[in-house]
Amino acid sequence: MARKLPQRSQNLNRTGSLKWVYGLIVISLIGLAGVYWGILDKPKDIIKLPPNEVYDSPSDTREQTDTPSYKVTRVIDGDTFEIEIPNYGTDRIRVKKIDTPEVRKAACTLEKQLANEATELGVKLLDGQMVKLKLDAKRDRYGRALASVTLANGEDYGQLMLDSGLAVVWPREYDWCRLGRVKH
């Protein structure tokens, strides 16, 4: 003879189903909150770029005089700086094809000294100045826009850094601690 389940067990099955539904609702709310806060917590220096024609894309056929200029608002180090983009805020630029000594991750005192010199030269050449950019289509792993940089006087910033001995052609591993300033 089959035993009839007590009323209490039937209620447990219904309660178990409700727990499952409530669990899904809670997980969904947590996921939505994560997406919401994830969007708000994006670094401020990684903003959405305006269309390429504003920057001067590599395939651009306009004359150099038609290329817009951007004001440098902050120099981070010898190969990284920030620009002001009208109606968009600021963006961080990484100079293409060069690498300078690291300020924050210097492996020795000589590299730190050279990094400070590269930063000082960057400040002298860039800070508060108007520059023209020829942007790469991609950003680097830190979200910085990659660009060749032309100063207001027409000189190439990357080449000036190479000529100073405070930069090497990227990609190239260079031991600043052992070799010091680049000699040409």
Mean pLDDT for the chain? 78
**Which pLDDT band holds residue 123 (cuts at 50, 70, 90)?**
very high
pLDDT tens digit sequence for 136-167:
888 999 899 999 999 999 999 999 999 999 99
Per-residue pLDDT at 29 exceeds 80: no
Ranges 33-37, 63-67, 167-171, most confident: 167-171
- 54: pLDDT strictly greater than 60: no
Q: Is the pLDDT of residue 17 over 80?
A: no
Q: Are 72 and 147 in contact (CB under 8 A)?
A: no
Answer yes or no: is pLDDT of 87 > 60: yes
Instruction: Average the pLDDT over 48-55 and give the result.
Output: 44
Burial of 57 per CB tally in 10 Å (0-12, 13-18, 19+) = middle
Q: Which residue has the higher pLDDT, 164 or 56?
A: 164
Instruction: Answer whether residue 124 shows pLDDT above 90.
Output: yes
| Residue 184 pLDDT level (bands cut at 50, 70, 90) | low
In the predicted structure, residue 63 carries a pLDDT above the cut 90: no
pLDDT at position 172 is 73
CATH T-level assignment (fold) for domain 52-179: OB fold (Dihydrolipoamide Acetyltransferase, E2P) (2.40.50)
Domain locations in the chain as residue ranges: 1-41, 52-179
pTM of the model: 0.64
81, 103 Cβ separation under 8 angstroms:
no
